Structure 1
């Protein structure tokens, strides 16, 4: 292959393990894989999701709270 390939680091999770970590059914991580929205590794016919890719996916969805200043009633 001519392109530069990145190697996933850390543990490889099964779809079931990823679903458990996301607190959802196996259908959601499978959809993420099908839509190419998350990095995955094919090992023969098996699919694994690197733990680091799942961490990045979760971090990308984090929404920080808006900090409001205190207002006094007039």
Structure 2
């Protein structure tokens, strides 16, 4: 059961709380990895993506339009 939890994408709220702990509460990456049951690398990736993009959510899928604007109206 534990493998099912650790091998999935983290919920955006989990990432947000982790980033809050890192920046505002001063937790280290190692401490956060233990708290959230993720690897140090994963926590580092969350921090790197946040610093590069300013957001903590995964990129959404772009919806491909199946019909033109004329067909939709």
Whichever structure has more strand as a proportion of its residues is 1
Whichever structure has more helix as a proportion of its residues is 2
Q: Which has the higher contact order (CA 8 A, sep 6+)?
A: 1
**TM-score w.r.t. length of structure 1:** 0.34
**TM-score w.r.t. length of structure 2:** 0.35
Structure showing greater radius of gyration is 1
